[in-house]
Chains A and B, each alone.
Chain A
Amino acid sequence: DQQVKQNSPSLSVQEGRISILNCDYTNSMFDYFLWYKKYPAEGPTFLISISSIKDKNEDGRFTVFLNKSAKHLSLHIVPSQPGDSAVYFCAASDRGGGGADGLTFGKGTHLIIQP
């Protein structure tokens, strides 16, 4: 059973426009969420995170929104740039589990920024 779902395997957005990547989760114990970005032949790199006590976190062009009642989070990239073309993974963690639990990742969304 997939606890973190990214239902769009790919997304194509024009350069300069807004990219919105979505992520849904089922485990109500998740209380910390992260986005990772992965280029081909490289490992994922951390992008932005949000704690469940917040509903928004912003870092430059990247903003993550969390809707706990809907168990949904989204990553907004404004404006989208060619270098943003990558696979984006949503990840969630239950820190309340005590100790360091492995993150649960979604399957990823391949974002393609078109010139």
Chain B
Amino acid sequence: KAGVTQTPRYLIKTRGQQVTLSCSPISGHRSVSWYQQTPGQGLQFLFEYFSETQRNKGNFPGRFSGRQFSNSRSEMNVSTLELGDSALYLCASSTTGGADTGELFFGEGSRLTVL
């Protein structure tokens, strides 16, 4: 069973640009969550999608957005990039998204560097 796949793995952008990251969940998983990992803040929840609908959103500015497609694949977009957006962006999938399913399955992440 293929795991969660994130692309691209690494990318470098400059301030003011925008970026789109992609996540393909495990087959059969309908929930996709996005997290930002930085050394100072750990893992912070961005948003969660289930059946193409955003169900939950973390405390991030509107520059951060996402969507989910009918095949459960998800994209997140960050516009007007700032230096502080440099981070590892992790995508996680699960069957229902509920924590009581026990586990989220994480991808390897997309490492974004903003210069």
Which of A32, A46, A89, A93: most chain B Cβ within 10 A? A46
Within 8 A of A (CB), among B50-65: 50, 55-56, 58
A73 nearest CB across to chain B (Å):
15
How far is it, in angstroms, between the C-alpha of A99 and the C-alpha of B56 when the chains are bound? 9
How far is it, in angstroms, between the C-alpha of A108 and the C-alpha of B58 when the chains are bound? 19
The answer to the question of A22 belonging to the interface, with a C-beta cut-off of 8 Å to chain B, is no
Whether B43 pairs with A99 at a CB distance below 8 angstroms is: no
How far is it, in angstroms, between the C-alpha of A96 and the C-alpha of B55 when the chains are bound? 15
The bracket for how many chain A residues form the interface is 20 to 34
How far is it, in angstroms, between the C-alpha of A91 and the C-alpha of B47 when the chains are bound? 16
> Please, which residues of chain A bring their CB within 8 A of the CB of B113?
none
> Please, which residues of chain A bring their CB within 8 A of the CB of B90?
43-44
Contact pick for A103, options B40, B99, B108, CB 8 Å: B99
Whether A44 pairs with B42 at a CB distance below 8 angstroms is: no
Within 8 A of B (CB), among A33-92: 34, 36, 41-46, 49, 51, 89, 91
* A-B CB proximity, top 9 nearest: A100-B97, A43-B106, A102-B45, A107-B42, A93-B99, A46-B103, A105-B43, A100-B98, A44-B106
Would you mind naming 14 contact pairs between A and B with Cβ atoms under 8 Å apart? A43-B90, A43-B106, A44-B106, A46-B104, A46-B105, A95-B99, A100-B31, A100-B55, A100-B97, A101-B99, A102-B56, A103-B99, A105-B35, A107-B41
The bracket for how many chain B residues form the interface is 20 to 34
How far is it, in angstroms, between the C-alpha of A36 and the C-alpha of B92 when the chains are bound? 12
How far is it, in angstroms, between the C-alpha of A99 and the C-alpha of B42 when the chains are bound? 24
> Please, which residues of chain A bring their CB within 8 A of the CB of B106?
36, 43-45
The answer to the question of B96 belonging to the interface, with a C-beta cut-off of 8 Å to chain A, is yes
- Given known pairs A46-B103, A100-B48, the reply for A41 and B55 (CB within 8 Å) is no
The answer to the question of B84 belonging to the interface, with a C-beta cut-off of 8 Å to chain A, is no
Within 8 A of B (CB), among A95-115: 95, 99-108
